[in-house]
Amino acid sequence: MTAKPPLTILLAAPRGFCAGVDRAIQIVEVALERYGAPVYVRHEIVHNRFVVESLEALGAIFVDELDEVPDGVPVVFSAHGVPKAVPAEAERRGLFYLDATCPLVSKVHRAAERHHVEGRQVVLIGHAGHPEVVGTMGQLPPGAVVLVETVEDVARIEVEDPENLAFATQTTLSVDETAGILAALQARFPAISSPRKEDICYATTNRQQAVKAIAPGVDAVLVLGAPNSSNSKRLVEVAKNAGCPRAQLVQRAADIDWTALSDIRRLGITAGASAPEVLVEEVIAAAKERFQVSVEQVRTATEDVVFKLPKALTEEDGAFRKAGVDA
């Protein structure tokens, strides 16, 4: 029997679930416990098929829009946030809804509203079509938010009044890439107002810093995450920019081409903010089938953030009864 080649795995920490994702998943789980199945969820609660399928097995039903939700059942809005038209429609129909929007995304929404009230047009740095961007732009009337995705976009955008602008960012962007876009914005519009606090969330920043710490010292980096997960895709980009061109996004162990990695001796592993730790453990187990593995954890920050669940799920007399009558 041929001896397995050695492999050192560097595990980035922090990695995986952030407080907003953890809260969103708990909202669905507790709603199922409290009200029974089915509980409807508008869009993927977080961008991870493993999480979605696990919740489906418990009785969650995922839909694209509210018109797919029948009367008399609870509905949960995803962690990415929704345009104002969505809760307005839920209220018009008398639906009981739970908003799982990450509190850090909600802060961006409130800041955009404040700027609008104070007469500023908002320039949003983000990715077109991403649910978080759709939700943020949907907080304000059409035209009140201008989206920029790249440095090149900054030179092209048209604004109503260069002296009355504010910027906001999607919470899951690359910190370094966003800095370049922001510099271009401030150069073109010196009067643009900044957020009171950085919009890119603590978890996104921490995971990118952890990847930067391991990338230069490994032969390849695997990022556990979904192809539609913004923060996971940014981790791949950050790893490549930090010195590991062989960085790739994988959803789970079964997706890994181990033949292409047969020559590696040092492997970095991290997980996007919506990827559960069980998927990391699955990859390590798969590696142990092929290599003599030693694991080292590289920690660059400690996280202790916890977000509370909605009151409807924590009060003894919840706001919804299974019969479909609001309490």
E strands, the chain, in order:
6-13, 39-42, 60-63, 75-77, 97-99, 121-125, 145-148, 165-169, 220-224, 247-250, 266-271, 292-299
In order of 113, 201, 308, the CA distances from 20 in angstroms are 21, 10, 10
Q: Residues near 155 by Cβ (< 8 Å), separated by ≥ 6?
A: 184, 188
Residue written as tokens 């791949």?
236
Q: Which residue is catalytic, options 132, 160, 163, 316?
A: 132
The angle subtended at Cα 123 by Cα 143 and Cα 193, nearest 5°, is 125
Q: How far apart are CA 256 and CA 222, in angstroms?
A: 9
Please list the alpha-helical segments (H only) found in 189-317.
202-214, 230-241, 277-288, 311-314
**Both structure tokens of 135:** 């939700």
Residue written as tokens 């700027």?
115
Instruction: Please answer whether residues 42 and 65 qualify as being in contact, where contact means their C-beta atoms are separated by less than 8 angstroms.
Output: yes
Q: How far apart are CA 121 and CA 110, in angstroms?
A: 14
Q: Is 163 among the catalytic positions?
A: no
Instruction: Please answer whether residues 18 and 304 qualify as being in contact, where contact means their C-beta atoms are separated by less than 8 angstroms.
Output: no
Residue 167 has a CB neighbour count (10 Å cut-off) of 22
Identify the DSSP state of 237. H
Q: How far apart are CA 224 and CA 236, in angstroms?
A: 10
Instruction: Please answer whether residues 145 and 188 qualify as being in contact, where contact means their C-beta atoms are separated by less than 8 angstroms.
Output: no
Would you please indicate which residues are annotated as catalytic (active-site) residues?
132
